[in-house]
Amino acid sequence: MAVVDIGTNSTRLLIADVGGEGALEQLYRESIVTRLGDRVDATGRLSDEAMKRVFDALAHYRALIDAHATAATTAVLTSAVRDAANGAQFSAAVRERYGLDARTIGGDEEAALTFAGATSERDNDGQKLAVVDIGGGSTEFVIGSDGVVDFHVSTQAGVVRQTERHLRSDPPCSGDVDRLRDEVAQIIDAHVPSAQRADVTRLIGVAGTATSCAAIELALEPYDPTKVHGHTLTRATAQRILERLTPLTNDERRAIRGLHPDRAPTMLAGVAMLLEVFDAFGLTELEVSEHDILRGAALQLAVDPGAHSL
């Protein structure tokens, strides 16, 4: 089976075999930074240039999907498409041009799939977990234990959205970063109740900000998902990365070992947001996970290949 995740900042592909009891064997995985959500926060529309970047990635992915002769294929579209006035037309084009069962999912559904993917291989030990997915246009917080979700919310904070709102100079001034962090702290405080946060004993970070922080700390070149998955990222390390990135221009950030050049323009916002997540939950460590919404959608597709919603 194949799952495509068309997000605000990147378009990703997972091709996998799913066996009995949810065992998943990854056959192929790829991520391309397509910046679909570029300026959606300001204009309310997906631009022609941004859509073309996604279409180019999907043409590449369609060839890979066909080569693997997958039995079931789906695509999930998230924050940028939900927010855009022309999101429905874009979704229709994805279905018609590339033969993908493309569906725009809501923030709650996105959160549930992310939690399912991130916790699919964990033991049921009763530990209260918070899975945090810092995306391009939204950030999902999902809290639960033993595979059961107790609380979930999708917030209007993401690396593309917050970069466009606050980090307009290159390099940004420290005051801009402070204002970004203040806004994110207020968003978390307003949408993730303190009582829910207080019970969490472990953070799990999925998606590009968390995985990129791990890759930077490990100085990975090329990127190695086997070293990133399960890596423990501390708040102190995230703070050092923020201090390293802040005075640099985008071109200088692109040269950092472990950071994919295409993520350089939004990485500063991502690390700043991650620090606010640490502080909101009062925790100093985060487990980095390669298992995310792609895995959750693949597991759901295996259960019900004919489902009209994930």
Name the pTM for this structure. 0.84
Sheet with 102-104: list strands edge to edge: 24-33, 10-18, 2-6, 73-77, 102-104
Tens digit of each residue's pLDDT (9 = 90 or more) over 221-251 = 888 989 999 999 999 999 999 999 999 999 9
What average pLDDT does the segment 275-284 reach? Answer: 97
Output the average pLDDT for the chain.
89
Domain ranges of the chain: 2-107+293-303, 122-288
Give CATH for domain 2-107+293-303: 3.30.420.40
Contact at 8 Å (CB) between 38 and 161? no
Cα–Cα dist 111/310, whole Å: 11
Q: Which residue has the higher pLDDT, 237 or 114?
A: 237
Tens digit of each residue's pLDDT (9 = 90 or more) over 135-155 = 888 898 999 998 888 899 988
pLDDT for 20 equals 60
Same fold, 2-107+293-303 and 122-288: yes
Tens digit of each residue's pLDDT (9 = 90 or more) over 170-219 = 999 879 999 999 999 999 999 999 999 999 999 999 988 999 999 999 99
E-strand ranges in 186-292 read 202-206, 232-234, 285-288
Confidence of residue 310 (pLDDT cuts 50, 70, 90): very low
Domain 122-288: give its CATH superfamily: Exopolyphosphatase. Domain 2 (3.30.420.150)
